[in-house]
């Protein structure tokens, strides 16, 4: 059992949980994730390890369906049955030069541990975006760990109005960028990949797809990379964005759209 040490509402439908998990915490690295199951009847869901210390790991989730709604109902002092990890591959920590992180929606949580890790060796520019200012979170933390931060909202309620890809285009036109890391909705990551492909800028995307076991056995998280089948949970979650078959991935990622819609309706 894993006890919840801290719970915080960060933004609309966005929740932070800090969980006591010393064995996971001491091995966690930027880029890792965990598989979480609330109770014996619950489904397994993958969540990025956003931060960690000696005894705890920090997770951030978006309330979108039954499992995350049940997770929202838990409070400090409550326990979660299973938290398995750290899973996935940690990021490569190297001196790249000028690195741009593009985080959209919940992807803001996933870019945070990476940019914090790379900031000692690189110049970090962060572009974060959401629908409105009410959906943004970790803004101060990202600013603190970036040399420059660009905020975008669809409605212009904070920062510049428009998509993160437009801000990225402007940045590329004015500065030499050595590496781009994109984490967020698949459509956003594909759009970032399209922007950087023509400029031949190395671009990494983190594949946030449906997972069942998180250890490569179920095959649910498979993705086509350079015409080869890879599994996001054990081969990733990060891949060269220019090698991903985005059309195939977008199709696979929407295969349970009808069931997710029914789940949302049943929650109301």
Can 2-87 and 98-206 be said to share one CATH topology? Answer: no
pLDDT in tens, 94-134: 999 999 999 999 999 999 999 999 999 999 999 999 999 99
CA gap 239, 146 in Å, rounded: 23
pTM attached to this predicted model: 0.91
Region 131-150: mean pLDDT is: 96
Please, what's the largest Cα pairwise distance for the chain? 53
Report the pLDDT value the prediction gives residue 228, as an integer from 0 to 100.
Answer: 92
- Cβ atoms within 10 Å, residue 94: 11
What's the rounded Cα separation, in Å, for the pair 21 and 112? 20
Residue 193: pLDDT band (50, 70, 90) is: very high
- Residues 65, 267 contacting (CB under 8 angstroms): yes
Short-list 144, 152, 140, CA closest to 119: 144
CA 115 – CA 101 distance, rounded (Å): 7
CB neighbourhood size of 250 (10 A):
13
CATH of 98-206, one of 3.40.50.80, 1.10.1740.110, 3.40.630.10, 3.30.70.1560: 3.40.50.80
- pLDDT tier at 65, thresholds 50, 70, 90: confident
Higher pLDDT, 101 or 264: 101
- Position 31 pLDDT exceeds 90: yes
Q: How many CA atoms lie within 13 A of 216 on its CB side?
A: 10
Given pLDDT bands bounded at 50, 70 and 90, which one contains residue 210? Answer: confident
98-104 and 179-183 strand pairing: parallel
The predicted-structure confidence for 12-22, as pLDDT tens digits, reads as follows 899 999 999 99
| Fold held by 2-87 | Elongation Factor Tu (Ef-tu); domain 3 (2.40.30)
Query: How confident is the model at residue 262, as a pLDDT?
Result: 55
Summary mean pLDDT of the chain: 91
Question: Domain residue spans in the chain?
Answer: 2-87, 98-206
The values of phi and psi at residue 75, to 5°, are -130, 170
């Amino acid at each position: 059992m894993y006890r919840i040490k801290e719970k915080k509402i960060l933004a609309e439908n966005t929740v932070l949980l800090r969980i006591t998990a010393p064995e996971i915490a001491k091995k966690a690295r930027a880029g890792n994730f965990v598989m979480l199951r609330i109770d014996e009847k619950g489904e397994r869901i993958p969540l990025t390890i956003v931060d960690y210390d000696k005894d705890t790991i920090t997770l951030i989730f978006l309330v979108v369906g039954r499992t995350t709604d049940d997770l929202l109902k838990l409070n400090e002092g409550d326990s979660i049955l299973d938290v398995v990890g750290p899973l996935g591959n940690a990021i490569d920590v190297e001196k790249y030069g000028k690195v741009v992180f593009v985080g959209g929606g919940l992807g803001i949580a996933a870019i945070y541990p990476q940019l914090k890790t790379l900031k000692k060796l690189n110049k970090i520019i962060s572009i974060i975006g959401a629908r409105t200012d009410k959906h943004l979170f970790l803004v101060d933390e990202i600013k603190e760990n970036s040399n420059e931060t660009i905020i975008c909202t669809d409605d212009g309620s904070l920062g510049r109005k428009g998509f993160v890809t437009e801000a990225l285009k402007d940045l590329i036109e004015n500065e030499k960028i050595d590496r781009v890391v994109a984490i967020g909705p698949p459509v956003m990551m594909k759009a970032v990949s399209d922007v950087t492909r023509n400029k031949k800028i190395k671009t990494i995307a983190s594949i946030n797809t449906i997972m069942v076991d998180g250890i490569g056995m179920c095959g649910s998280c498979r993705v086509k990379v350079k015409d080869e089948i890879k599994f996001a949970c054990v081969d990733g979650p990060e891949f060269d964005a220019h090698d991903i078959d985005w059309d195939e991935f977008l199709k696979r990622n929407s295969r349970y759209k009808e069931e997710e819609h029914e789940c949302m309706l049943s929650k109301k």
